[in-house]
């Protein structure tokens, strides 16, 4: 029966480790100016650790009755299992959609990892919690550099380009040639045309190496172009 309780100092140690390890991950998110930062990660990990401690050691009377054959069924993992579902609400709140871009997915995943680390600390699996923290921090930092140097130069970015033209017989033909010369692909086109002007909304794809400013300057210099606007271009720095 001694294994059903732990001393107060060990409770304090586990909760303190939850604050330290989960705070390390939250610190990285805080310096990146993410919606869920230092305090959010600490509170989530601390709460997950405490829930796990309560689940494992907080119901001694029921545990003793179950072990002595009192007819009670005791499952110490029930409360901990609900943590996984509850973290989903916090993760959803960290995800922000800005036009075609979705931000906060990494922060939501870090909250998920922090809850697992807190549960591991609460259950006494301190080595696993420490290793998971090291790997999580390494993933957020080292792989960020890998993505910037290797992945981002290979990926295509999406943006919305708005062209407003006056009455010109060529229409958007010359503008499309400019985009082609700058290795910019048009995925879709919406047009609005009246007697005095025509407006085109183009969804384009471009590589990070493309000089988008030079392309916009060339478009603006075309005869008949009244307005050029670009929105939704993401920054991977």
DSSP for 79-122 reads HHHHHHHHHHHHHHHH-EEETTEEE-HHHHHHHHHHHHHHHHHH
| In the block, residue with structure tokens 């045309």 | 193
Neighbours of 31 (CB within 10 A): 10
Q: Which helix (H) or strand (E) segment is 35 a member of?
A: none
What pLDDT, on a 0 to 100 scale, did the predictor assign at position 216?
A: 85
Decide: 186 and 204 in contact? Cβ < 8 Å: yes
Distance between CA atoms of residues 51 and 123, nearest Å: 10
What pLDDT, on a 0 to 100 scale, did the predictor assign at position 237?
A: 39
Q: Which residues contact 29 (CB under 8 A, 6 or more apart)?
A: 36, 37, 38, 41, 107, 110, 140
What pLDDT, on a 0 to 100 scale, did the predictor assign at position 75?
A: 63
Distance between CA atoms of residues 69 and 124, nearest Å: 26
pLDDT tens-digit series, residues 55-92: 777 656 555 555 555 555 556 566 667 777 777 777 77
What pLDDT, on a 0 to 100 scale, did the predictor assign at position 46?
A: 84
Token code pair at residue 122: 């609460």
Parts of the chain belonging to CATH 3.30.70.260: 155-231
Token code pair at residue 225: 């172009």
pTM confidence score: 0.56
Token code pair at residue 113: 């990892």
Q: Which helix (H) or strand (E) segment is 12 a member of?
A: helix 8-31
101 bridge partner residues? 98
> Which of the listed CATH numbers 3.30.70.260, 3.90.550.10, 3.40.50.300, 3.40.630.30 matches domain 155-231?
3.30.70.260
Regions in the chain scoring below 70 on pLDDT: 1-4, 35-36, 58-80, 97-102, 143, 147-148, 150-155, 167-171, 234-237
What pLDDT, on a 0 to 100 scale, did the predictor assign at position 193?
A: 79
């Amino acid at each position: 029966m001694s294994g059903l309780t732990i001393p107060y100092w060990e409770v304090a140690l586990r909760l303190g480790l939850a604050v330290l390890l989960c705070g390390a991950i939250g610190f990285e998110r805080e310096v990146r100016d993410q919606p869920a930062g230092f305090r959010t990660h600490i509170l989530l990990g601390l709460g997950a650790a405490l829930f796990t401690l309560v689940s494992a050691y907080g119901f001694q009377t029921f545990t003793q009755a179950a072990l002595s054959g009192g007819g009670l069924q005791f499952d110490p993992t029930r409360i901990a299992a609900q943590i996984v579902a509850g973290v989903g609400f916090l993760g959803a709140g960290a995800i922000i959609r800005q036009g075609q871009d979705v931000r906060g997915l990494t922060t939501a995943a870090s909250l998920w990892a922090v809850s697992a680390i807190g549960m591991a600390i609460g259950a006494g699996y301190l080595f696993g919690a420490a290793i998971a923290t090291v790997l999580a921090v390494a993933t957020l930092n080292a792989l960020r550099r890998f993505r910037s140097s290797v992945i981002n130069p290979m990926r295509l970015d999406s943006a919305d380009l708005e062209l407003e033209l006056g009455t010109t017989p060529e229409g958007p033909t010359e503008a499309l040639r400019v985009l082609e010369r700058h290795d910019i692909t048009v995925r879709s086109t919406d047009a609005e045309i009246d007697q005095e002007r025509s407006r085109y909304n183009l969804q384009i794809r471009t590589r990070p190496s493309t000089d988008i400013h030079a392309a916009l300057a060339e478009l603006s210099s075309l005869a008949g172009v009244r307005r050029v606007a670009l929105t939704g271009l993401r920054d991977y720095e």
